[in-house]
Structure 1
Amino acid sequence: MSDASKAMRERPLSPHLQVWRWHITMATSILHRATGVALYVGALIAAAWAVSLAKGPEAYAQFKGLMGSPLGKVVMFGLTLSFFYHLANGVRHLVWDMGKGLDVKTANATAVLVFAFTAAATIAVWAIAMMTGAI
């Protein structure tokens, strides 16, 4: 007879987020997925914008009121941030697809570059919007 039926053996646990040491390329991978989801939400907002335009001036005024509210501005800022992050990280992935920049040092440097571009582009767009009176 075997001893397997008598006692349940401890099974090894699969590595998870608590086990892995966080590093910047791991964060960029997770954020790339999260910003992709956020951009789907942005597409729904763009569809709502188009529908409000089609429904007429009253519906469009309601949409503008919602998007011009503090919560709407926070959402739009987040979408701007998501757009530029996803764009920059997507370009980084295209470079990787060509077989370039795959070593750890370059991957970490380009991750920092993605974050820097995201911050600079988002701030620039919102600064221009404020200077022109769009917000």
Structure 2
Amino acid sequence: MSDKTTLSHGRLKTRFTALGPYFREGISAPERYFFDSLSVCVDAEKDPDAREFWGWWFELAPTEDGFNYRYGFGLYDHKGDWVNESIPQEAREAVDKTLTNFYTKLYTLLDQELDLSLSPSAALTEPKLTGAK
């Protein structure tokens, strides 16, 4: 990252936590920041510990001048693992909306507030996301 905006891992965690409920501090590290959203419950009738969700996960990796990102969609299963699965049509709009809202906040933080780049990773298999509206 550039010298003028180099932030410590601790300060980045604080800024990422302020974005909302997306940041997963426990599985993030200085070389990889992890975010996700459990957007749509598959079956609300199940016990809370057995519920599964449709949603997305998002990873940031530091670069010389900012971050590269990659993300995916799928099922957050009852074991607490992300499974890469197609989102059913009836859940797709809600899942897309939470990703768009998150990405807009993240882009604003990195690009406009911290003057850091946000670029797709070479490993990205989903469509490239666009910046703030």
Q: TM-score of the superposition, structure 2-length normalised?
A: 0.29
User: Which structure: larger Rg?
Assistant: 1
Q: Which has the higher helix share?
A: 1
Q: Which has the higher strand share?
A: 2
Higher relative contact order (CA 8 A, sep 6+): 1
Q: TM-score of the superposition, structure 1-length normalised?
A: 0.29
